[in-house]
Amino acid sequence: MGRLRKSVSSIVVIGALVAGCGGETALDGPTIYANQCARCHGSEGQGGSGPALDSGGRLTGWEEAEIREVIRRGVRGTAMPGFQGLSELQVDNLVLYLKQLP
């Protein structure tokens, strides 16, 4: 049993290292958000030059896939840039973070 647990945690560590190879190493939603999104959407998602992303914003009812798409592609003709450099894991973590904002 102990042995199984050990190999599972090594897999997690290797996954984190591989995902971090894009140069942008932060993997957790809050850190990526603080580094790349907060300047427009506010430190807590309350909005700023960009719309609020917390429950007071327009995201209520959006599918996760739609949120992922906006993050990847941006919104053409607006200040919202596309973040193609983020890994799948980073986008997943961002979406999870946005979904749990109060």
Write out the residues near ligand HEC by the rule CB under 6 A. Answer: 36-37, 39-41, 49-51, 53, 57-59, 67, 70-71, 75, 78-81, 83, 94
Minimum gap (Å) between residue 29 Cβ and ligand HEC = 9
Q: Which is nearer to ligand HEC, 2 or 83 (CB)?
A: 83
Nearer Cβ to ligand HEC (9/49): 49
Of the pair 9, 60, the CB lying nearest ligand HEC is at: 60
Q: Is-contact 84 77, C-beta < 8 A? A: no
Could you identify the residue written with the tokens 């959006």?
A: 62
**C-alpha distance from residue 31 to each of 3, 27, 28, 62, 87 (Å):** 32, 7, 6, 23, 14
